[in-house]
Structure 1
């Protein structure tokens, strides 16, 4: 890691960068609140779409929406670069490097999506992106195995989210500020509910990728919107979908706390 990056990561010359990165968590909170609202609407019978592109487009339709989207893109980019710096931080373990690198890619993708929506290009929704990705992999040698591996990886991420929420391991990402003896019980509750809900949705996405691999049909791969649709058709589906939507909203509120208390 360069000396410039080191100083930024230590909180000296990187104060502006750190504030922008923390803003990325806050923007993620807004995004998850909107997603949660859309998912709850679907559970109640609406034909809304529950994907990040649609959620960002909903934000863009509000007063000063374009300004908010550009600010979101900058914040996501700052957080992605922060995670990338973590991936190359000296002394970091291989597992931590991989996790930070994956987060860097995710936030960079969100920055790109926010920029596309701000520029008036709606882009592909989550299901279209998932199907396109699966279709590209299918064309490669051992393509079905690759799609299956992606599905297993997503399921692994889903289990990680559920365990992180159930065992409150997300508290390791947070720190109390000076003058605050401990984090509030509300933050802990929101984190637990939010991580478990995200894990459930991701688990369904992973199952759908596995289905695409087994049937050699890339159209069966879906994103969050497709996962919600799948849950809706399961026994007690509407209730489950509403609960998942509330869980996403809880994660959004937790993200606001993370913007303030995150270990950076």
Structure 2
């Protein structure tokens, strides 16, 4: 149930986020790139928005618990003698922390404390600032950045090899669903890889400069993309990929191996 609730919440968040990114790419959203806060505020503005956002918060909380269970109990039977599996298990824990900050942000929006969509610290800045207050904080921030960058390459590997299909109970999937899973999975993981490698780089830069404000999250990653040559088109590709990853999460919630 933890996994199902988490993937269901991710379906809503990623699909809506993909739409907002696409709107931003074509100039329909405004001058600022969308952020996670925009997603939660958009949900709140819908009919029965408080009920919908409340359900998303519950689902995200379930996903946080699921990530910590994956990290702590190794229920995926990862081989701890392989560096890739070690990094994956560590990232489960880091992912749980990241989604915990996201859940906290969603709760603040739900309570009416979200404020302006462009104000305040981003999740990444808040997380970086919190870590830097600890002993060896700069090294912790650098470690988080390195782990995120490494995990971004794992995302690219998933995109090219489509080995994410190993997570599915393929015997319950029709040929059409299998093909759809491969397509949306490849594009979704590729888009996530782009975002993750930028976010990881921001954390490393924050550690290097000992400045938590250098840490960037989704919004800063999208701003970086759109500032490049053909950035508008690159942003469209990322937006489409993020939306399709939401579809992938919906499929995973239905066919994930138990």
User: Normalised by the shorter chain, which TM-score bucket?
Assistant: 0.7 to 0.9
> Structure 1 residue 67: deviation in Å?
0.5
User: For residues 83-232 of structure 1, what are the structure 2 equivalents within 5 Å?
Assistant: 83-86=67-70, 87-88=72-73, 92-93=77-78, 94=80, 95=86, 97-122=89-114, 128-140=122-134, 143-176=137-170, 178=172, 180=174, 183-232=177-226
> Structure 1 residue 115: deviation in Å?
2.9
The corresponding residue for 2:15 is: 33
> Structure 1 residue 110: deviation in Å?
4.0
Deviations 1:47-97 (A, max 9, x none): 244222221111111001111111122222233334444432679445365
Q: How many residue pairs get matched?
A: 246
> Structure 1 residue 242: deviation in Å?
1.2
Asked if the contact 2:128–2:212 (Cα under 8 Å) also holds between the matched residues in 1, the reply is: yes
For the pair 1:44 / 2:26, whether they are aligned, the reply is yes
> Structure 1 residue 182: deviation in Å?
7.6
Asked if the contact 1:176–1:183 (Cα under 8 Å) also holds between the matched residues in 2, the reply is: no
The corresponding residue for 2:39 is: 55
Gap change, CA 1:145 and 1:232, over 3 Å in 2 = same
Structure 1 unaligned spans of 5+: 1-17
The corresponding residue for 1:12 is: none
For the pair 1:24 / 2:27, whether they are aligned, the reply is no
Deviations 1:191-241 (A, max 9, x none): 000001011011111122222333333322110100110111112211111
Gap change, CA 1:27 and 1:138, over 3 Å in 2 = closer
The corresponding residue for 2:83 is: none
Asked if the contact 2:169–2:255 (Cα under 8 Å) also holds between the matched residues in 1, the reply is: yes
CA distance in 1, matches of 2:225, 2:46: 30
Write out the 4+ residue segments of structure 1 that deviate beyond 6 Å after TM superposition: 123-126
Greater Rg over alpha carbons, structure: 1
Gap change, CA 1:61 and 1:146, over 3 Å in 2 = same
Asked if the contact 2:101–2:127 (Cα under 8 Å) also holds between the matched residues in 1, the reply is: no
CA distance in 2, matches of 1:257, 1:134: 33
Gap change, CA 1:206 and 1:37, over 3 Å in 2 = same
Gap change, CA 1:128 and 1:101, over 3 Å in 2 = closer
Structure 2 unaligned spans of 5+: 81-85
